[in-house]
Amino acid sequence: MENILLEMKGITKSFPGVHALDNFSFNLRSGEVHALVGENGAGKSTLMKILYGVYTPDEGEILMEGKRVTIKNPSEALKLGIGEVFQELNVCLQLDVTNNIFIGNLKTKHHLVDDNALREETRKILRDTVGMDVEPTALVRTLSIAQRQMIEIAKVVSRGGKIVVFDEPTTSLTKEETNHLINIIKKLKKQGMGIIYITHRLEELTILADRVTVMRDGKYIRTMDYADTTNEELVNLMVGREMTEKYPVYQRKIGEEILHVKGIRDKGNINIGEIVVRKGEIVGMAGLVGAGRTESMRILIGADKGEVDEIVLFGKKISRLQNVHKSIESGIVYMTEDRKADGLALPLNIEKNISIASLKRFSKRGIVNAKKADENAWEYVKNLKIKISGLEQEAKLLSGGNQQKVILAKWMSCNPKILIFDEPTKGIDVGAKYEIYKLINELSDAGMGIILISSDLPEVIGMSDRVYVYREGRTVAELDQTEIEASNIMQYATGIKKQGKG
């Protein structure tokens, strides 16, 4: 008989205007990695938040090892042996490593905490569970994303965890960090733990997945052994249609030079010689994590401290963009990599998120014309095909792909001429990615200059007309269409090839 560790039966959950889960069922065996896949908005995160006690289901039941359980909050989930490693990590940044691992579970003797004993136990837990050597007194905010993930895993395992949910765990990791995480997951599996693995990087399933369940629009579609399917089949099941193309075929019309920047630098590692963007052109920026792509663009738009020797915008030399407001007024906007922290005001509604950067357009003598703001928001909701229940819906309730479209609508409301996309499809499913790519192409067709920063190499190759390759804070190569291919980019990014653009 199958060793079923977890069953979620007939789970239904609705929010105002949104039917997130519809009679969804799922089970997990001991010692397996069960992948859960679907487009953004399919209901994956909602299902896991029910399992973790963040949400209460409207209907359905949860069974652990055959016994029905009620999970009212994350503390109860942890007591039952259920832990989650979220895409947005649930660590306390201001506390040290020891307190993060033992938070809510402090061991006392005569009502007193033995700090030294806890620190020694922390060392042992980290060493034995995740092979990590870090000072127990180190503040978590000083650690890398990968190290923070290891602390979350160690916390679950140290409490006798039986189930660990990984929600897009490799999004912000380097290749080496990803490989380390995969080895940890394999180790947990051998120990008999059940792993629920959520990812849009389907190539990772080849290494990890035993079974895979596909969901779409909150509904159960199919469960199968991963060995009996293909990633192409999974994509078609996820989107409910054939996906014959990953990147839209497009013939761009590239015009005159609209941006020419010389000498972007800071007091640290950034020292960029030259960046050029033409009308209707998509300029890719490739490189390893930490190569300086985001940092250089943030200096350019005045978001971070640094120097820019010369900016020629639309044929006219302009002064240094002192801040983001000046950048927006000049026609340059920046779509941040972290849409939840920097791109959206999550508690605010759709209309306010779209209008927030362009209120001057809808205001007279400091008073906002609500009708005009609503009309503008609805125009972009329609044109960008944003799936919402209404303009009053909170941004935090949207899927990742629709949140990204809301941010795009916000910046389009500013009538930009140059748009910098920083990781535009990070954490977005394949169907929504295709829609974002089409939108980017349409913007270029309208004459906008596009800068595309992406760690997804096929994305850079599939979308760019030219590519700047970054390495250690410098552009080391400028590649035209005939030179844009994976091995060429990686050889420059790793220093094997040297072109020396400066």
Asked if residue 280 has pLDDT above 70, the reply is yes
Q: In this predicted structure, what is the pLDDT of residue 175?
A: 79
* Average pLDDT of span 147-166: 84
- pLDDT classification of 245: cutoffs 50, 70, 90: low
Within a 13 Å sphere around the CA of 339, how many CA atoms are in the beta-carbon half? 26
- Domain for residue 482, yes or no? yes
Asked if residue 47 has pLDDT above 80, the reply is yes
Average the pLDDT over each of 246-250, 296-300, 369-373, 453-457 and give the range with the smallest value. Answer: 246-250
Buried b / exposed e over 287-313, threshold 16 CB at 10 Å, is: bbeebbbbbbbbbbbbbeebebeebeb
Among residues 459, 460, 458, which one has the least CA distance to residue 477? 460
Same domain, 218 and 367: no
Q: What is the DSSP letter of 45?
A: H
Same domain, 436 and 404: no
Same domain, 153 and 231: yes
Whether 328 contacts 302, CB under 8 Å? no
- pLDDT classification of 106: cutoffs 50, 70, 90: low
Residue ending a domain, choose from 239, 261, 281:
239
- Domain for residue 15, yes or no? yes
The residue type found at 225 is D
Average the pLDDT over each of 192-201, 213-222, 243-252, 483-492 and give the range with the smallest value. Answer: 243-252
Q: CA–CA distance from 96 to each of 109, 117, 145 (Å)?
A: 21, 15, 15
Q: In this predicted structure, what is the pLDDT of residue 1?
A: 40
Same domain, 321 and 369: no
Average the pLDDT over each of 6-15, 236-245, 322-331, 361-370 and give the range with the smallest value. Answer: 236-245
> Which domain does 221 fall in, by range?
4-239
- Domain for residue 285, yes or no? yes
The Cα diameter of the chain in Å comes to: 76
DSSP labels, 304-371 = S--EEEEEEETTEEE----SHHHHHHTTEEEE-S-IIIII--TTSBHHHHHHTT-GGGGEETTEE-HH
- pLDDT classification of 223: cutoffs 50, 70, 90: very high
Q: What is the CATH number of the domain that holds 112?
A: 3.40.50.300
- Domain for residue 342, yes or no? no
Same domain, 220 and 254: no
Whether 476 contacts 309, CB under 8 Å? no
Angle at 342 between CA 339 and CA 348, to 5 degrees: 80
Same domain, 70 and 167: yes
Return the higher-pLDDT residue of 454 and 432: 454
Return the higher-pLDDT residue of 111 and 359: 359
Write the pLDDT tens digit of every residue in 122-146.
888 888 888 888 888 888 888 887 7
* Most confident of the following: 15-29, 77-91, 202-216: 202-216
Q: In this predicted structure, what is the pLDDT of residue 500?
A: 55
Helix (H, G, I), strand (E, B) or coil at 122: helix
Torsion sign (Cα): 147, 148, 153, 157: positive
Same domain, 145 and 275: no
Q: In this predicted structure, what is the pLDDT of residue 45?
A: 85
Whether 342 contacts 422, CB under 8 Å? no
* Average pLDDT of span 380-388: 84
- Domain for residue 219, yes or no? yes
* Average pLDDT of span 358-378: 85
CA-to-CA distance for 353 and 376, rounded, in angstroms? 12
- Domain for residue 338, yes or no? no
Among residues 410, 308, 295, 403, which one has the least CA distance to residue 351? 410
Same domain, 58 and 185: yes
- pLDDT classification of 219: cutoffs 50, 70, 90: very high
* Average pLDDT of span 203-218: 92
- pLDDT classification of 220: cutoffs 50, 70, 90: very high
* Average pLDDT of span 354-375: 85
Return the higher-pLDDT residue of 57 and 361: 57
Return the higher-pLDDT residue of 471 and 103: 471
Residue ending a domain, choose from 239, 263, 283:
239
Q: In this predicted structure, what is the pLDDT of residue 112?
A: 67
Give the number of domains in the chain: 3
Sequence-separated (6 or more) residues with CB below 8 Å from residue 126: 97, 132, 133, 134, 150, 151, 154
* Average pLDDT of span 474-493: 90
Average the pLDDT over each of 196-200, 242-246, 266-270, 397-401 and give the range with the smallest value. Answer: 242-246
- Domain for residue 341, yes or no? no
Q: How far apart are the first and last CA of the chain?
A: 64
Same domain, 119 and 24: yes
Whether 202 contacts 231, CB under 8 Å? yes
* Average pLDDT of span 53-78: 93
Question: H/E/C letters for each residue in 228-257?
Answer: HCCHHHHHHHHHCCCCCCCCCCCCCCCCCE
Average the pLDDT over each of 15-19, 33-37, 55-59 and give the range with the smallest value. Answer: 15-19
Same domain, 325 and 363: no
* Most confident of the following: 77-81, 318-322, 450-454: 450-454
Dihedral angle of Cα 372, 373, 378, 383, to the nearest 10 degrees: 100
Average the pLDDT over each of 156-160, 296-300, 482-486 and give the range with the smallest value. Answer: 156-160
- Domain for residue 102, yes or no? yes
Q: CA–CA distance from 497 to each of 14, 225, 477, 486 (Å)?
A: 54, 42, 9, 13
* Dihedrals phi, psi of 61, to nearest 5 degrees: -145, 160
Same domain, 295 and 229: no
Residue with the two structure tokens 């200096």: 299
Distance of CA 392 to the CA centre of its chain: 25
Same domain, 161 and 229: yes
Please, what is the average pLDDT of the chain?
86
- pLDDT classification of 312: cutoffs 50, 70, 90: very high
Average the pLDDT over each of 257-261, 382-386, 448-452 and give the range with the smallest value. Answer: 382-386
Asked if residue 88 has pLDDT above 70, the reply is no
Residue ending a domain, choose from 206, 239, 272:
239
- pLDDT classification of 74: cutoffs 50, 70, 90: confident
- Residue 273 CB neighbours (<10 A): 16
